[in-house]
Amino acid sequence: MSHPLVLGIDVGTSGVRCVAMDVAGRDIASAARRFADHDVDPRDPLGWAALVDRTVGDVLSHIDRDAVIGIAIDGTSGSVLAIDARGEPLGLPLMYNDAVEDVSIVRRIAAIAPSDCAAHGPTSGLAKALVLQTTNGVARLLHQADWLAARLSGEWDIGDENNALKTGYDCIAGCWGGWIGDSGLRDGLLPRIVPAGTPIAPILPKVADRFGLSRHVMIVAGTTDGCASFLATGACEIGDGVTALGSSLTLKVLADRPISSPEHGIYSHRICGGWLAGGASNTGGRVLAAYFDRDRLAELSEHIDPDRAAQFDYYPLLAVGERFPFADPGLSPRLSPRPVNEADFLHELLAGIAAIEAEGYSRLTQLGAPSLRSVRSVGGGAANPNWTLMRQRLLGAPFLPAQSVEAASGAARLALQGVSAGVAA
């Protein structure tokens, strides 16, 4: 038999990606399918399942199927669906970005949930569960990744800690919050929760036969897409940080203790032997895109001196309001004075965003996170070498290359964790 492989499956906002990874953590094969390209409704669970099957099939056609020993799946955080006793979906789910319109539900949760609980707000998993429990014939409420994993294992009563966080799971105590019953949620609807990366059960024989896989393939508890994206970079040690330089600026660091700051939207996921905490600023690439197209941004960036300090105290935002590194709904953008030279203006924008990144990691440290051991960068801004040097000067931590930017690779790393004992044997 070939060297052992695992599969990581990412079900994101636009489609499905699958990665085959070897035990050394190297991506061996991958495939992706977009919902739009296959006329699949992103809200349809049966559509998710069909696209997962096709994408997995694409990867299996390029590897030795007999080498596969484990599978893990990540999904969008806060996406919840109702299923019947056979595991069949009962209508459409409430997705990660759906807000519960019944304000009485949101207020009920706010009145009883601990202040540091992630179940607050109209988009929380618990708010959605309270709506979906009224579905006729409901036997269980599952998160997206949990349901997709259950299709492979047949275990319809298991979920992972990371997806359960916004539904009221207490990762520190290792149980559902005792107050959840007071919210009005019926007993028996929420799944039994296990840590991400926990072996769940061998693959169902009929599923193994359909894919041409061994019946010994282990299905491993997955995670959220955000946690999987962190793991994909190779960050796994306490103090490892990951900065996502996309349309917004998102920071995450692996801490040795749970970090919580509800006013900043910071909660901790238990993963990789530590606690993953982070925050998201309203600054980021969307500000740069408002002034420069991609080609002009790349051209001007070549003329940036990364060692030159900022001349002005910019706080680059497109609208009033900030959430992290500090929560200030009334904060106005600071983008003046504006230099005549475009390269100088871009320098000030990049320096302003880099300063917010540095302040963000400092805020996480103030809240109890460790000092940065390393930083990995993902997103479009990670490809800007002068900006990288500017950021590295401010952060004072080694910058390491991201091993992958695909969440599916992070899910594969969880699969490796789940089968590691078997591989060692």
Instruction: Take residue 334 and report the two structure tokens written for it.
Output: 């600071």
* 355 pLDDT higher than 70: yes
* 424 pLDDT higher than 80: no
**CA distance linking residue 368 with residue 266, whole number of Å:** 12
Q: Which domains can be identified in the chain, with CATH numbers?
A: 5-227+407-424 (3.30.420.40), 236-395 (3.30.420.40)
| CA separation, residue 210 to residues 54, 87, 152, 213, 328 (Å) | 12, 19, 11, 8, 53
**CA distance linking residue 152 with residue 81, whole number of Å:** 17
The H-assigned helical ranges of 233-320 are: 285-289, 294-301
**CA distance linking residue 30 with residue 7, whole number of Å:** 9
Q: What is the pLDDT of residues 195-217, one digit of tens each?
A: 999 999 999 999 999 999 999 99
Q: What is the pLDDT of residue 1?
A: 55
**CA distance linking residue 170 with residue 10, whole number of Å:** 25
Q: What is the pLDDT of residue 237?
A: 95
Q: What is the pLDDT of residues 152-183, one digit of tens each?
A: 999 999 999 999 999 999 999 999 999 999 99
Q: What is the pLDDT of residue 2?
A: 76
* 272 pLDDT higher than 60: yes
Q: What is the pLDDT of residues 281-304, one digit of tens each?
A: 999 999 999 999 999 999 999 999
Unique residue bearing structure tokens 């699958």: 18
**CA distance linking residue 305 with residue 312, whole number of Å:** 15
Q: What is the pLDDT of residues 32-91, one digit of tens each?
A: 999 999 999 999 999 999 999 999 999 999 999 999 999 999 999 999 999 999 999 999
**CA distance linking residue 358 with residue 346, whole number of Å:** 18
Summarize the confidence of residues 123-150 as an average pLDDT: 97
**Cβ within 8 Å of residue 104, ≥6 positions away:** none
**CA distance linking residue 201 with residue 155, whole number of Å:** 8
Summarize the confidence of residues 348-371 as an average pLDDT: 96
- In this structure, the chain runs to a length of 425
Instruction: Take residue 175 and report the two structure tokens written for it.
Output: 């149980």
Nearest to 235 by CA among 184, 293, 276: 276
Average of per-residue pLDDT values in the chain: 95
* 421 pLDDT higher than 70: no
* 276 pLDDT higher than 60: yes
Q: What is the pLDDT of residue 425?
A: 43
Strands annotated E in 90-174: 140-143, 158-160, 169-170
